[in-house]
Amino acid sequence: MTKPGMEAIVTELQRIEVSLLDGSYRGGPWSKLLKRIEALPRSDRCLLADQVSRVGDRLHSRNHPGRKLSIRTGVLLELAFTLDALALIYFGVHWRSGWLLGLGTFLICYTMQILVKMSVGTLLGIRYSYFYRDFVVEARAKMKYGTYLAAPPAARFLVHVAGTLGSPIAVFAVALAVRSSWPGAARNCLLVAAALAIVQLALFAMPFVGIERVRGVGVDRSSGGAAARELRSMLRGLESSTPEAG
C-alpha cells in the first residue's frame, strides 16, 4: 500500500470520528472503510489498530448506548458467576436437586462461552474494550476492532472457533464430573452438550450454503457464523495468491 493510500484511509477515519462526535454520521462509510483496511498488509493494519479501535468503539457505543463495564470488572463478575455455578452444581448433586444442577450447568455454560473466547483472543493478540449487554440479557465483550483486524486471518478464525467451544465443553465437563454419582443427570448433560455443538455446527455451515441471516439477524453475529466468515476469507486469500497453472 502506498503512502498516499494510507493517508487517505487515515483521513477517512478522522472524518468518520468527527461525524460520530457531532452526531452527523450515517451508516455505510465505516463498513466500506473496514474492507479497505482489511485488504492492507498486516504491518499497515497494525499501524492503524489504535485509531480503528477508537473509532470502532465510538460507533459501537452509539449503537449500544446502555451501561458498560470495564474489562476487569466484567471478567471478575464472570469468574464470580463461574464459582457460583460450581457451587450450584455441587449442591445439586449432593442434594439430588435437578433444579440446582440445571441452573448451575446453564450458568457455567454461559460464562465459559465468554471466558474461553476472551482467553484465546487475548493469547492471539486481540484486546477488549468493555463489557456490554446485547440481545436484552446477553453479556458480550467488545473487541478493540483494530487489534482484531491487525491479527492474522488464522487468529481471527481461531478466536471465533473458541467461542463455539466454551459452552459445549463446559456442559460436557459437568457430565464427566457427575457421571459416577448421578448417571441420569450425566446423560442429560451429554445430550445438552451435543445439542449445543450441533447448533454451532449449523451456524458455521449456514454461510457455506447461502444462508446469511436468520429472522433478520446476521448469522455472523454468532461465533459459528463468524468463524465461517473468516474461513471463507482465508480460502479466498489462498485462491487469489495461488498462481495459475500453465
Domain spans of the chain?
A: 1-63, 64-241
Q: Is the pLDDT of residue 66 over 50?
A: yes
For the chain, strand residue ranges (E) read 69-70, 128-134, 138-143, 213-214, 217-218
pLDDT at position 27: 85
What's the rounded mean pLDDT across residues 182-204? Answer: 97
Contacts of 124 (CB under 8 A, 6+ apart): 151, 155, 158, 159
pTM: 0.90
User: Do 112 and 166 touch, CB atoms closer than 8 A?
Assistant: yes
Q: Is the pLDDT of residue 105 over 90?
A: yes
At 15, is the secondary structure helix, strand, or coil? helix
Give the pLDDT band (50/70/90) at residue 10: very high
Give the pLDDT band (50/70/90) at residue 53: very high
pLDDT at position 244: 45
pLDDT at position 1: 44
Contacts of 202 (CB under 8 A, 6+ apart): 224
- Mean pLDDT for the chain overall: 92
Q: Is the pLDDT of residue 109 over 70?
A: yes
Q: Is the pLDDT of residue 54 over 90?
A: yes
Of residues 134 and 107, more confidence is placed in 107
| Spatial distance between the Cα atoms of 14 and 37, rounded to a whole number of angstroms | 14
